[in-house]
Structure 1
Amino acid sequence: MEIRTHITNEEKIAEVVSEEIIINSVEDALDLVGNLYYQGFDKLVISEKNLTPDFFDLKNKLAGEILQKFSNYRVRLAIVGDFGKYESKSLRDFILESNKGRQINFVGNLTDGLS
């Protein structure tokens, strides 16, 4: 895993670069967000492929628990991916609702994730 640092509008943003799943559990998310928080990052950009597929199954509540960690530490999160492939109406609604705020966003590309 590589962390690339971006500075956008005086905001320090961490971009996770990896071909592997980085967040498999709530504990993985807590470790990552804690490390980023203490390094002074304001935001994390991570690819959909770096999250366990279970994250996108809202029935198991994993997404909610993981996203709560980011909210608790006040580290913004952008997840980059192609979310149109998910057929779950509840997931689509969750993504739309998340994108109305600034804390958690689901975006289509890195440029949008950095903004």
Structure 2
Amino acid sequence: MNIQYPLFSQVVLTQDLPQHNLKRGEVGTIVEHYPMAEGEDGYSLEGFDVPEVTIEVAASQIVSLPRWQKEEIILTKLRQLSETRLLQIEDYLDFLWQKEKSEEKSA
């Protein structure tokens, strides 16, 4: 599923981009969208701590700022759980992931 991020929305890098000296978690602003008929959409980002630099990324390399913030809250809570609870969460996540895949196939 392609998620199109609106122009000028803030997104977070999901991986390091060493060629630009950028790290996972850094926030940028979308300034251009490159829709692809096949494959992944692309985006141009600006606004990192490097002035006047625009980088190009694939959709899989970014996530919206609100989603990133929610995921960080969840990760903080996960780090506080016991090993037993983590195993239970993992089982439940597997269940949800299978359900998501099933719903995508039927859509």
For the aligned pair, the TM-score class normalised by the smaller chain equals under 0.3
Query: Normalised by the size of structure 2, how large is the TM-score?
Result: 0.23
Question: Between Structure 1 and Structure 2, which shows a larger proportion of helix residues?
Answer: 1
Q: Which has the higher contact order (CA 8 A, sep 6+)?
A: 1
- Larger gyration radius, structure 1 or structure 2: 2
